[in-house]
Structure 1
Amino acid sequence: MAFVHEVEYEFIEQDSWLTSKQQKWAKGRLTELSGYYLEGQNDMRWQVLSHNGLNPDFQPG
């Protein structure tokens, strides 16, 4: 699942777009990718939340 935001975004570590119930379902099933801009910066940022446990240390460039 991927979310791309073309607006400024307040970064919150490990912030997920899934509800608690959806996160329980996602365990072992999916990886969440978020793309966003931080306030005051022009570069796109990416965050990976590995609900499925695959590649938990992967950080997009």
Structure 2
Amino acid sequence: MSVFNTVGCFFNRHEPSRRHVVWDGRAYVGSCKYCGRPIQRHGKQHWRKRTVDEAGLPPAS
């Protein structure tokens, strides 16, 4: 893993591990190839960190 690859993650520009991307019924989701965080596609080649609300989970109290 290169330092240059993780710089994108720092600015919320992730790259998916293509083999593990799935359709969840609302969007394409997967994990980042470099940092491992859950991500969601927001347009062609635009992957951002997946928030709790996007995951369809109830808000934490």
- Asked whether the two chains share a fold, i.e. TM above 0.5, the reply is no
Between structures 1 and 2, the one with greater helix share: 2
Between structures 1 and 2, the one with greater strand share: 1
Larger RCO of the pair (alpha carbons < 8 Å, separation 6+):
1
